[in-house]
């Protein structure tokens, strides 16, 4: 793990570049890499392909980024800059956390490759640190203290991450099949009818709720919002719990 940290791009000064290719530099390289990642995923990114996209050889890119791992750190921090969290005094903490989780999920839906990078290297770039600093300020003002700040932030992040991963998987499946999610559910109905005798509760719920006639795309969004509200309810309940009476300890 020490190597992952000591080799982080954020612990080294930027590579200066040669100055003979004004179209190159970290910023255009990172933006082109993000476009390639959005289109083809992590497997589609290589320094050779990126160089071709920029009209340059892979060798030229190495004057600005040391390797692909360094480039991925830079792309991760760049897209983290798309996540919005209001300033601490702009709104109440529940609204701020709702905006944060919703914005995080939206970013992850735009960039489905991002979840694979979380936890691989330290996420300590300037955009990530600015977001973390603001999240701490919002949660501390709300009354969270010590490690509860980290736990509350992680809970919201995990909800956005889990929802985005599932939604991206559904989107990949529908694109691959060339069908809508409702069309795919329609194709499941004969199977569900066939096994209904062994899963009566599921069948009753499925039919009562509308089954394949529901707007399943809208339900995905509704489910995210429902879960987020319940998480915030739980955090608020915990935050406002009665203080323990020292006389009963």
Instruction: Identify the residue with better confidence: 211 or 86.
Output: 86
In this structure, the answer to whether residues 97 and 54 fall within a common structural domain is: no
Q: What is the domain range of residue 106? A: 93-178+215-248
Between vectors from CA 86 to CA 83 and to CA 92, what angle results, nearest 5°?
Answer: 135
In this structure, the answer to whether residues 14 and 63 fall within a common structural domain is: yes
Provide the pLDDT for residue 243: 74
Pick from 79-83, 202-206, 236-240: least confident: 202-206
CATH number at residue 150: 1.10.357.10
Residue 17 lies in a domain: yes
Residue 227 lies in a domain: yes
Provide the pLDDT for residue 106: 98
Provide the pLDDT for residue 104: 98
Residue 170 CA to its chain's centroid (Å):
16
Of 48, 78, 108, the domain-final residue: 78
In this structure, the answer to whether residues 122 and 232 fall within a common structural domain is: yes
Query: 110 to each of 10, 39, 41, 183, 217, how far by Cα in Å?
Result: 24, 10, 12, 24, 16
Instruction: Identify the residue with better confidence: 151 or 4.
Output: 151
Instruction: Identify the residue with better confidence: 85 or 243.
Output: 85
In this structure, the answer to whether residues 122 and 162 fall within a common structural domain is: yes
Residues 76 and 117: beta-carbon distance below 8 Å:
yes
DSSP state of 63: T
In this structure, the answer to whether residues 116 and 224 fall within a common structural domain is: yes
In this structure, the answer to whether residues 35 and 128 fall within a common structural domain is: no
Provide the pLDDT for residue 136: 97
Residue 191 lies in a domain: no
In this structure, the answer to whether residues 116 and 227 fall within a common structural domain is: yes
Of 49, 78, 107, the domain-final residue: 78
Provide the pLDDT for residue 248: 42
Residue 208 lies in a domain: no
Instruction: For 111, list phi and psi in degrees, rounded to 5.
Output: -130, 80
Provide the pLDDT for residue 3: 63
Distance CA 80, CA 48 (A): 25
Provide the pLDDT for residue 129: 97
In this structure, the answer to whether residues 117 and 231 fall within a common structural domain is: yes
Tokens representing 89 are 């005094």
Between vectors from CA 39 to CA 57 and to CA 29, what angle results, nearest 5°?
Answer: 35
pLDDT at 1 > cutoff 70? no
Of 47, 78, 109, the domain-final residue: 78
In this structure, the answer to whether residues 139 and 238 fall within a common structural domain is: yes
In this structure, the answer to whether residues 172 and 50 fall within a common structural domain is: no
What pTM value is reported for the model? 0.88
pLDDT in tens, 17-60: 555 555 688 999 999 999 999 999 999 999 999 999 998 888 88
In this structure, the answer to whether residues 163 and 99 fall within a common structural domain is: yes
Number of structural domains in the chain: 2
Residue 85 lies in a domain: no
Provide the pLDDT for residue 79: 98
pLDDT in tens, 63-119: 899 899 999 999 999 999 999 999 999 999 999 999 999 999 999 999 999 999 998
Distance CA 182, CA 214 (A): 8
Tokens representing 110 are 């735009």
In this structure, the answer to whether residues 122 and 234 fall within a common structural domain is: yes
């Amino acid at each position: 793990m020490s190597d992952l940290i000591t080799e982080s791009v954020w612990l080294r000064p930027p590579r200066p570049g040669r100055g003979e290719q004004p179209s190159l530099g970290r910023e255009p390289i990172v933006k082109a890499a993000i476009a390639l990642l959005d289109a083809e995923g992590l497997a589609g990114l290589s320094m050779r392909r990126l160089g071709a996209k920029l009209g340059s050889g892979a060798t030229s890119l190495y004057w600005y980024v040391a390797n692909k791992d360094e480039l991925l750190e830079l792309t991760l921090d760049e897209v983290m800059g798309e996540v919005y969290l209001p300033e601490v005094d702009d709104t109440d903490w529940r609204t701020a956390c709702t905006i944060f989780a919703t914005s995080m999920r939206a970013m992850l839906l735009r960039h489905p490759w991002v979840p694979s990078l979380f936890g691989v290297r330290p996420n300590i770039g300037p955009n990530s640190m600015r977001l973390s600093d603001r999240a701490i300020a919002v949660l501390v003002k709300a009354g969270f203290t010590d490690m509860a700040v980290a736990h509350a932030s992680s809970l919201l992040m995990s909800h956005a991450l889990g929802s985005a991963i599932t939604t991206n998987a559904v989107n990949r499946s529908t694109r691959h099949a060339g069908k809508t999610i409702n069309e795919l559910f329609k194709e499941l109905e004969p199977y569900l009818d066939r096994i209904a005798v062994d899963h009566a509760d599921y069948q009753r719920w499925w039919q009562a709720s509308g089954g394949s006639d529901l707007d399943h795309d809208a339900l995905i969004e509704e489910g995210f919002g429902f879960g987020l509200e319940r998480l915030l309810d739980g955090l608020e309940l915990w935050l406002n719990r009665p203080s323990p009476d020292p006389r009963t300890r």
